[in-house]
Every structure is written in C-alpha cells, then in structure tokens.
Structure 1
Amino acid sequence: MKNFILLLFLGSFLIPYSAFSQGSPDYTGGLKVKLNEDGSKYFRVISWAQFWAKYTDDVPDSESNVDFSIRRARVLMYSQINKDFLILTHFGINSLNADNQHPVGKGESSQLFLHDVWAQYSLGSKHAIGAGLHYWNGISRLNNQSTLNMMTLDNNRQSWANIGLSDQFARHIGIYAKGSFGKLQYRVAINESITDNLQAEEEPVANGPAVYAGRRLLGSKDAGKNFAGYFDYNFFDQESNFLPYKVGTYLGGKKVFNVGAGFFYHPKGSVSLNSTGALEGEDVAVFAVDAFYDAPLGENGSAITAYATYQNNDYGKNYTLRQTYETGSMIYSHVGYLIPNDNKKIKFQPYTSFNLRSIDAIDDNATTFGVGANAYISGHNSKLTLEYQNTKYGGNDSNSYVTLQAMIYL
C-alpha cells in the first residue's frame, strides 16, 4: 500500500532558537516582546498548526481515499523577567479528525493538554536547574529532536524510546539540570514515571514477556522514579542549549561535529511473573552513543549532514510493543547532501536513512530503509519533502510507502 500525505504546516512567531539554525535568508527573528529598554525582560509567543491531507490506495469500498486531519496545533510561550529566571508553557492538541471530533467540542481528542511547563533558575551563565513537565531528555540527540528542522521527513521512531511508556508525549514531570563545561554540554534529570501508560490494561502472564507496568503494579516507592542524561562534546561550533530541542540540519550555516552518549534508567519499570507466580520487577535501561556532523563544503554553498547512533534497549525479558518498543539493539544513520545552487533561496538536499534493529522476542531483525529529498524554498521556514520508506520486520512483514510533505512556518 502506498500513502501520499500532504502536510501543510503553518506557524507564527517561529521557533525560539535563532534564525541561524533555520537556514532561512528571509528570517530576521520571531516575535519577542521587550518589557524594558535593553530587552533583558521579555516574553515570546510561538504558535503552529499542522494540517494533513492523506491519500490511501487500499481502503474498503465504503471509505474515502482522502481524509483530512489536524496533526498538531500548539502554542508555546516563555518569558524571562531577569537573567536568572525563565518559565515556559507549551500546550495543544494532536491528531484531530472526523472520527474523534465531538459535536460541541467536548470530546477527549478536542481538549488541549500540556506538552511542557517548566520553570528554570540560572546558576551563572553556563548552568541552570529547573522543574516541571519538561523535554530535557536522555539517551540520544534524536530523543531530544526538534520537529521543525529535521533533515529526514520525520524522526526515527525508535529513538523516541519512552513515549507513552514512562512519560506523557516525550515529557516527564521532574527536575533537571543542564549546562556546559567548556565544549561539553550536559542535561540530566530525575523524573516521575506515569502510572497509566500504553500498557495500562495489560497484566504479565506466566512465562510471558515483561510488561511495562512497574509503577502501577509494584507502587511508586519501588518503581516510581526514572533517571536520564545526555552528554555531548562540541568539537567545532558550539550549539545552543538555551532550549532542549536539537537541530536536525543547519544547511551549512554552522560547522558542527558532536559526539554524545546518554541513558535512561527506570528501576523495576517492567514486571514479569516468576516461576512461583509472583510479580517480579525488571529494570528498564536504554543507552546510546551517537555522532553528528553538519558543515559546509567549500565556498559553493554545498553542505553535508550526517548522523549515526547505536542504541541498546532493555525493557525487560522479550519485551515488545507494536513493533516500536522492543528489547534488543539498534543501529541508525542518515546522511544528506545540500546541492550547490546560485539561487540563495532555493536549495535541494537528497538524503538516505537506514535503521537495523535486533529484536530478542522474535530472535530476528527489522530493517527500515529510506531515501528522499528536501527542496528548501526559504530554509526550514518553507520546504517540500518527498520520501520513500520500506520496513521489513522479521523477514516476513514488509511495508512500503511514499510521503509528500509541504511545510511552512512564518
């Protein structure tokens, strides 16, 4: 089956890293409202929405081949009243469509929910601590990925290794610390693990696989907290860590080479039944090493973006859920080349990606291969992406699709 997806992304006031990270020749800064003359007191507001028109070939005779949905609708705000304090709030909805709308807007899918809300206190110019519902994650660069400037069509799904298992939409409630020592950046956190997760209705069975239900079945004392961290060394240009969202490609705007390592550890996060039929907690541990390279090539406007990671996942004995979360290991990489072009506004970037996973539960592998191209009309602010992807699971199931994306944010 082939799916053709048209994604129209409209945003206002832009994302709050810097214009430098977006690679746009037309962008000079988002909406920042100064509260004093020198701008040290300010607030910033960001709003965006994603609209999908999806075409599917293989549908029942009674169903339409084309459907529309709101994939994401978000508002993000943050403010500093002085250099020491920052507060950020981010809320919105996801995947609103004709099947889950409510006649008067009171359905669960119609309701706004918090994605992020945290407060932060600076410890000098290089370090800060904060608390709340936050996105300062561990494991890898891709587990901290921004969704606005990815090079591939979307993030590698298995790299977001906790969504719905221990967190709410990739965010935990907890405390974090972040900062840098010279060229070494760090982020570490102690978090609460959610009780009602994607396996809220499942129970472990005798001689069966582990179930991610430690907090629900064993209690918050033994299985309530998790720990995460990510550390990366910036060999060349220093990346911003003002906000947690990692840039996917700088389009030759910076010369970046980073090597990183990270972890996620949830003691007794999963549960199984032992030989006597008693509940037994199993530690969940995910760690990864990765490398990111993004740099211009000469003076002709070309650039290369390359990323590679090795990730080891231990969710418990023979754990598997929806062919996404599985005990085993993963190697993932992608590489893209920005083609030189005399037109400074329009640029083209072909790319390819590859994911190889070993899966304990099926004693076999899964592979995902992708090839695509970006057409940047105005950097990440306006681009088209066409991607073909093929996934083979266990040597049996195979799924291929083509996606066309149009993305604009202003």
Structure 2
Amino acid sequence: MKKVLSVILFSSSMAIAQVKPSDDNTKSDIRYNLNESGSHYVKVTFTNQAWFRFNDNNPGTTVLSDPKSSTFDIGLRRTRIQLFGQITDRIFFYTQYGMNNFNKTSAFPSYNTTGTPSQRKVAAFFHDAVGEYEVQRKGTNFIRFGGGLTIVNGLSRFSQPSIGTIMTMDVPVFAQATVDQTDQFSRKLSVYSRGQIGKFNYRVGLADPFPIETNGATPPTLNQNSVFSQRKNHKQFEALFIYNIFDTEDNTTPGYMTGTYLGKRKVLNIEAGIISQKNATWRKEAVDTLYGNMTLWSVAAYMDMPVNKVKGTAVSAYLGYFDTNYGKGYLRYNGIMNPATGTSQPIAGVSRTQGNAYPMFGTGSVVYAQAGYKLKDGLLGSQGTLMPYASLQHADYERLRDGMNVFNLGVNWLIKGNNGKMTLNYENRPVYRNSTVANELDKYARRGSWTLQYQISI
C-alpha cells in the first residue's frame, strides 16, 4: 500500500510540474521538484528530428558502389534526451544522450566500401556530461564555473546552438569548426566559466582536444595542405563575449544558445568570439614537417524580437563574419547526413566529395546571414502558423578560385511552436573540380536538395 501511495504522489507531483510553462519555448516542463519552491529540480527533455530528403548528387556519386545521380533518403538528423537539474542553490548538472545523422549509409562510411562488417547499432553516445558551481548570483547576474564534456566554447552562438529552437532547418555547421575532428560532435573535455554581468554575457574556457586518430576515420595523410596534427598537441583556448542591448537571454543550460524565441523576448546582441590552439595542424613542405596554429574568430549581431505582440508576429536575423585560419591550404568537405558512400570522380587533395558534400570548412573567411519572419498566431487556425526564412553562407577559402555561396530557403510550419513543427527546406550548393592551377579548385556547376523535417520536442 505504501508503494502504491508513493507512486501516486510521485505521479501527481510530475503532472503538476508538467503544466508549468517554460519562459522561452512554450514548453510544458517534465520535471520533478526537489523542494517546495521548485528552485531545486530535475528535468527531462526529448527531441527528435526526422528528415525526408531528395538530393541531386555531386558528379560521380556512388551508393554502396552503385552509381547514383540522385537519391531519396530517410534519416534521423538528431535524436536527443537531456537530463539536468539544480541540485542546490549553487550546484547544477547537465547531461545529454543521443545520436546524429542516422540513415541507411551512416554505419557504412565512404572508407568502408570493401564489405568489411559494420555496426549500425552504435550511433548513440553521451554528448554532454558537465557539472557547474555558482560562485555568485545577484538578480539576473551570476558567475559560474564548470567542467566536463561540454559544447561550451568560443567563436559564436551557432558554435553552441540549441538544436530544438533552430529557426532554419539546420544550423550553419561551418561554425562548429572542428566538428568530429578533434571534438566529439562539437563537444570537448573542458573547464570554463560563464556568467551574466549586467548587459554583458561571457564564457571563457580551456579545452583538451581529442586526438584526430580517435574520430573513427582514417586520419588524413600528411601532405602540402594543413590537416589536424597527430603530434605536439596543445590545449585549446576559447572565449565568447556578448553584449545584450535589450533583454538578456536564457542561461539555464551551459552553451546551447537559442535559435529563435518566436517573439517571446526582445533580443538584440553584439558578439565576438575566438578559438585558438597552438600546433593544431601540420603539413609537409619538401622534407620538412611544419606545424600551424589554429586561430578562428568572429564578430556578429543577432536580433530576435516581436513585431506585433497582439498578432504574435516576430522577426529573427543574424549576420556574422568569421576569420578561419586552420593553417595553410586547409580545406575540408562535409555533407550533412551524407546519403552516399563513394565517388568515381575524386578530387585531388580533398576526400569524401560525394553525395551532398561541399567545401564547408577552410582557411579563409566566411560571411553568414539568416533572416526569418514569424507570421501571426493562428494563421492556420488550431494548426498553428508559418515562419519563412532564408540563409546564405559566403566563403572565401584559400584553395577555392571562386567564392562559395550556399543558399537555403525554407518555411517552418509551427504547429505548436518549436515543440511540434515541420520544415520544408531547399538548399543550393556549388560543385567544384580540380583547377588548372595546382592545388586549387574551380567551381563549375551547382546542385540542390529538398528536405522535409518533422521535429518533436518535449
């Protein structure tokens, strides 16, 4: 009888907690309060992003050795569970478990085309496991110190995005500069401090990057172009500084900066960030091995605010400049949840150019912009409203003879804010080939892809 009563009381407390709305995302919290006021609690969230995509593949693309000029694939872009909470007034913990980029070919990467056995059941892993201690708080001001496996870093807000609140269908992945090279899906083992002092928000940290040899792929061969080094590894310094002109942002979890507040806050920020690491890359020049320092920095402005509070209309926009110095000649192709496994038309000096890949990362500079407009609440009656958007990534990388432009156009169907939404997105990207100039690439065509995403977030 006592066990039954305990279950009833626990279920009742959970049900009461669930109707408490979140400040930013119109969510109902799944939480268990540890004290009467609810200031101490444990909370659970879940997010799943399913993709249904048609892609015009890059020339020469093969899927499991079969030539494919186009593909239709179904996949899970992200599936995540978060468990976090405020244990005492000063102690906070955060964990996240899940998987990314899970489709038919995800367990059969491009370097495994010989029939070697693969395992599709090993995709999920801990993304974050971090503890924080708050040394000071006064009103909305606070100073915290933390450590563990975390996405807290410098460079930009999109280097540590809240994936459940993305305005565009996906984040600008180039801003997650070392993703799955010397980090674990953008997370690193780090110690850091973050805080809010008046209108000023900061985060500074020291990370211990993972060896490139442990990322699950064969390390790039040492050649004339910079690649991440396998020797003389150093710690990584990072910092991000933000000035909040109007409202301050949600600072509950470490990292994870909101994509759009859907008009719930009036936010206008100016930011500057940096990531720096000594001897991060190496290259070969004649018989000498030369090491290069990685220095990445950015400046940006972010706006997200209501236009008409009565109607519920809102605008969101971002404009940023990124200086990306990985070392001489660094260039890396990447295709998000790539539907292909190989190519019959390889490009000298780069790898994995099949499917939907393009030169996403490189030494040079990037300008990134995005803008969206949330239409009035109830536009579709009880089925929510719409939020169209557009984005542009313009990159000038050393080894590209022509500037690279990647366009995205899309619309969000906000059925229940960010808790339940569908996104239809069209992406248009450039295709490159070897240039007549040694070690450079020429742009000669473009390809596109259509993706429908269905997001559930609790």
Alignment TM class, shorter chain as reference: 0.7 to 0.9
Give the letter aligned to residue 236 of structure 2.
N
Preserved contact between residue 96 and residue 109 of structure 1 (Cα < 8 Å): no
1:201 aligns with 2:219: yes
Amino acid at match of 1:380: N
- CA distance in 2 between counterparts of 1:127 and 1:217 reads 36
**1:79-132 C-alpha deviation (Å, 9 max, x unpaired):** 322111112221223344455679xxx936425322101111111110000110
For 2:212 and 2:104, locate their aligned partners in 1 and report how far apart those are by CA, in whole Å.
26
1:281-296 to structure 2, matched below 5 A, reads: 281-296=291-306
Aligned to 2:36: 37
State whether structure 2 residue 42 is matched by structure 1 residue 19. Answer: no
Give CA-to-partner distance per residue, 1:125-161, whole Å, 9 cap, x none. 1000011001111101111111111111111121111
Where 1:191 maps in the other structure, the secondary structure is strand
Shift of 1:62: 9.9
> Residues 64 and 109 (structure 1 numbering): CA distance in 2 closer, same or farther, change over 3 Å?
farther
Which deviates more from structure 2 when the two are superposed, residues 259-268 or residues 74-83? 74-83
Counterpart selection for 1:246 from 252, 257, 265: 257
Q: 1:65 to 1:193 in 2, by over 3 A?
A: closer
Give the secondary-structure state (helix, strand or coil) at the position aligned to 2:227. coil
Q: 112, 134, 137: which one pairs with 2:124?
A: 112
Deviations 1:345-380 (A, max 9, x none): 522222111111001013331101121111211111
Q: Does 1:166 align with 2:182?
A: yes
Q: CA deviation at 1:217?
A: 2.1
Query: d(CA) in 2 for partners of 1:57 and 1:364?
Result: 21
Unaligned runs of at least 5 residues, structure 2? 1-14, 58-62, 109-117, 334-358, 432-441
Which residue identity lines up with residue 153 of structure 2 in the other structure? N
Larger mean CA deviation between 171-180 and 382-391 belongs to 382-391
Indicate whether 1:398 and 2:446 are aligned: yes
* 1:333 aligned residue: 369
Determine helix, strand or coil for the equivalent of 1:19: coil
Residue matched to 1:142: 158
Q: Which moved more, 1:326-335 or 1:343-352?
A: 343-352
Q: Secondary structure at the match of 1:377?
A: strand
The aligned counterpart of 2:327 is: 316
Alpha-carbon distance in structure 2 between the residues aligned to 1:271 and 1:97: 33
Amino acid paired to 1:406: Y
Unaligned runs of 5+ in 1: 1-12
Partner of residue 152 from structure 1, selected from 168, 171, 191: 168
Distance 1:361 1:396 in 2: 15
1:56 and 1:127 mapped to 2: Cα distance?
46
Partners of 2:86 and 2:448 lie apart in 1 by: 47
How many residues align? The count is 382
Cα–Cα, structure 1 residues 115 and 313, in superposed 2: closer, same or farther, change >3 Å? same
CA shift digits 1:311-341 (9 cap, x unpaired):
0000100111111220010001011112235
| Aligned sequence identity (%) | 28
For the structure 1 residues 45 and 302, does the alpha-carbon distance in structure 2 shift closer, same or farther, using more than 3 Å as the test? closer
Preserved CA contact (<8 Å) 2:50 2:454: no
Q: How far, CA to CA, are the matches of 2:72 and 2:410 in structure 1? A: 23
Residue in 2 aligned with 1:75?
81
Answer with 294-303 or 336-345: which moved more: 336-345
Seen in structure 2, the aligned counterparts of structure 1 residues 74 and 192 have a Cα distance that, compared at 3 Å, is same
Match of 1:364 among 385, 402, 413: 402
Report the Cα offset of residue 302 of structure 1. Answer: 1.9
